[in-house]
């Protein structure tokens, strides 16, 4: 019988469930401790794997969190696309990118499921709220070149649309075409941005 102390570091022998083990540990720890108080080292310890495997599979703590919440898009990439271009068209680009993700064939139902789970699960709500506060709103502010207060208002406007249109299905929101939503909210978002 081989001495277990002579095992070399690296991948486990046999079928690898390492990625799933890390993801499961992350979901538990983010739910229990929130985004800020969950380290990649703690996730690795919980999963029983080398800490180097966490960034190997997920890139960063941000990437791990996005995967743990089963978000079908990278919100940071979406923010970067929306904020890339002339400032005077920022409001329109933001609502265009936002509705594209929420109405996409491969992303829409997953995002709607995520929003429902965040609303109905206190630990997910807490983790998502902390992530939005510490990662996403500052990213919007930095990428768009606006203050944190303006970023906070624009993000709340966008998620207000998501809640009313996609989660609750309020007819005044849900009955509009996507083009109508863009035409209505783009200028409103731009007014907030221009006031900054």
User: What pLDDT score was predicted for residue 50?
Assistant: 92
Q: What is the mean pLDDT of residues 60-87?
A: 84
User: What pLDDT score was predicted for residue 41?
Assistant: 93
Residue 14 CB: number of other CB atoms within 10 A?
6
User: What pLDDT score was predicted for residue 5?
Assistant: 45
- Non-local CB neighbours of 139 within 8 Å, separated by 6+ positions: 76, 79
Q: Which residue has the higher pLDDT, 110 or 139?
A: 139
User: What pLDDT score was predicted for residue 115?
Assistant: 84
User: What pLDDT score was predicted for residue 2?
Assistant: 45
User: What pLDDT score was predicted for residue 118?
Assistant: 81
Q: What is the mean pLDDT of residues 91-99?
A: 96
Nearest in space to 185 (alpha carbons), one of 169, 171, 170, 173: 173
Rounded percentage of the chain residues whose pLDDT exceeds 90 = 52
pLDDT at 14 over 60: no
Residue 187 CB: number of other CB atoms within 10 A?
13
pLDDT at 111 over 50: yes
Q: Residue 2 class from Cβ within 10 Å (0-12 exposed, 13-18 middle, 19+ buried)?
A: exposed
Nearest in space to 136 (alpha carbons), one of 123, 124, 119, 148: 148
pLDDT at 34 over 90: no
> What is this structure's pTM?
0.71
Name the pLDDT band for 67 (thresholds 50, 70, 90). Answer: confident
pLDDT at 152 over 90: yes
User: What pLDDT score was predicted for residue 85?
Assistant: 93
pLDDT at 63 over 60: yes
Q: What is the mean pLDDT of residues 122-130?
A: 83
pLDDT at 125 over 90: no
pLDDT at 71 over 90: no
């Amino acid at each position: 019988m081989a001495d277990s102390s002579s095992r070399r570091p690296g991948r486990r022998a046999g079928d690898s469930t390492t990625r799933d083990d890390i993801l499961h540990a992350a979901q538990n720890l983010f739910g229990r401790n929130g985004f800020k108080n969950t380290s990649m080292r703690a996730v690795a310890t919980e999963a029983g794997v080398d800490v180097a495997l966490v960034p190997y599979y997920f890139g960063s703590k941000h990437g791990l969190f996005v995967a743990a919440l089963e978000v079908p898009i990278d919100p940071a990439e979406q923010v970067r696309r929306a904020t890339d271009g002339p400032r005077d068209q920022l409001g329109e680009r933001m609502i265009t990118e936002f509705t594209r993700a929420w109405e996409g064939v491969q992303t829409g139902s997953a995002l709607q499921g995520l929003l429902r789970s965040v609303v109905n699960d206190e630990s997910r709500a807490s983790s998502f709220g902390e992530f939005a506060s510490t990662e996403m709103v500052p990213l919007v502010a930095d990428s768009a070149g606006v203050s944190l207060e303006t970023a906070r208002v624009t993000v709340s406007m966008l998620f207000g649309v998501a809640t009313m249109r996609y989660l609750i299905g309020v007819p005044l929101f849900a009955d509009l075409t996507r083009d109508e939503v863009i035409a209505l909210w783009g200028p409103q978002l731009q007014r907030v941005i221009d006031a900054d």
